[in-house]
Amino acid sequence: LMAVYDGCKLLADIDVHDCSKLAIVDLSVFQNVVDDGLLRFVARHCPQLTDLNLSNCHQITDVSMMDVAAYCTKLSSINMSE
C-alpha cells in the first residue's frame, strides 16, 4: 500500500476488502487517521499478518488491540513506538 500511496498522489479510493494473504502492514504513515475501527478491520480481515507497524498511531486503544491479539495469531512483530 505504501508504494501505491507514494506513487499515486491523486488516488481517491482503494478497495482492500480481500487482504486475507497480506502479511506486512505499515499504518504509521497514516497515523492521523488510524483508529480502532481501521485497526479492527485490519485485524479481522488479515489473518496471515506477521508484521504490524503502528508507530505514532495514538488513536488506537485496547479495544482494537484485543482484536489484533484474537485474530492475528501469526503476528510475530508489532511496532508501537513513538
Which tens digit of pLDDT belongs to each residue from 31-61? 888 899 989 989 998 999 999 999 999 999 9
Could you list the beta-strand ranges (E) of 1-82: 24-26, 51-53, 77-79
**Helices marked H in the chain — which ranges?**
2-7, 36-45, 62-71
Q: Is pLDDT of 1 > 80?
A: no
| Per-residue confidence (pLDDT) for residue 22, from 0 to 100 | 86
Q: For residue 44, give the C-alpha cell.
A: 479481522
| Per-residue confidence (pLDDT) for residue 61, from 0 to 100 | 95
| Per-residue confidence (pLDDT) for residue 32, from 0 to 100 | 84
If pLDDT is split at 50, 70 and 90, which confidence band does 65 have?
very high
